[in-house]
Amino acid sequence: MQDDSIVFVIDDEQAIREALDSLFRSAGVRAMSFASVADFLGSERPDAPACLVLDVRLPGLNGLDFHGEMDELGIRVPVVFITAHGDVPMSVRAMRAGAVDFLIKPFQDQELLDAVRVGFARDRLRRASLAAMATLKERYESLTMREKEILWLVVAGQQNKQIAARLGLSVITVKLHRGQLMRKMQARSLIDLVRKTDILSRTIDRGAIH
């Protein structure tokens, strides 16, 4: 497991929290434990790849309901459920909602460690994807308005002559802008440029793109 990763544990039983803290420490994993969802929400948590080990039955907001609200709260941490009172419908609900795993107490230590490892991997992938998207947006914003205009005409399949006629430019000028925007977007080919703009168009309001 990565040294900078951290596992959050929410369980109302102190004995369980202490046992899990000990398990994660022995595995070289940072851990923070909380007795309730409210305690978790009120805490300052490290900005690092993470996984949440979440008990199903908790005082106040239970684990399953909290999981359903996490996205709305801006908490996008992979979740491993643990419970002593699980059943098939409950586990199906959790897995359909995107949980990494649903473990019934008592479970094997390695089962939990393996599930947390999967959670860390998912969160690292999510973070890498967000970072790549931020970089792509920065590259797009570095384009001039003319370059942006030509970019969308290029990926729409228009040739240099067509773009020149549409914008009242010379073909040479279009080629120069096209070369500049390819460089700024770090696009290796037209196919690569199309792929990048497809990602942009799915994550940015098209009204703000043009």
Same domain, 91 and 187: no
Domain holding 174, by residue range, is 142-209
For the segment 118-122, the average pLDDT, to the nearest whole number, is 97
Same domain, 161 and 199: yes
Burial class (CB in 10 A: 0-12, 13-18, 19+), 114: middle
Q: Look at residues 132, 167, 183 and tell me which one is the last residue of a structural domain.
A: 132
Query: Of the segments 18-32, 58-72, 93-107, which one has the largest average pLDDT value?
Result: 18-32
CATH code for the domain in which residue 199 is found: 1.10.10.10
CATH code for the domain in which residue 47 is found: 3.40.50.2300
What are the DSSP calls for the chain, one per residue?
Answer: --TT-EEEEE-S-HHHHHHHHHHHHHTT-EEEEESSHHHHHTS---SSSEEEEEESS-SSS-HHHHHHHTTTTT----EEEEESS--HHHHHHHHHTT-SEEEESS--HHHHHHHHHHHHHHHHHHHHHHHHHHHHHHHHHTS-HHHHHHHHHHHTT--HHHHHHHHT--HHHHHHHHHHHHHHTT-SSHHHHHHHHHHHHHHS-HHHH-
For residue range 30-57, list pLDDT tens digits in order.
999 999 999 999 999 999 999 999 999 8
Query: What is the number of domains present in the chain?
Result: 2
Same domain, 22 and 118: yes
- pLDDT reported for residue 210: 47
- 1 in a structural domain: no
Q: Look at residues 100, 132, 164 and tell me which one is the last residue of a structural domain.
A: 132
Is a pLDDT exceeding 60 seen at residue 208? no
Q: What is the pTM of this model?
A: 0.78
Q: Look at residues 132, 157, 176 and tell me which one is the last residue of a structural domain.
A: 132
Same domain, 177 and 154: yes
Same domain, 123 and 164: no
- pLDDT reported for residue 89: 77
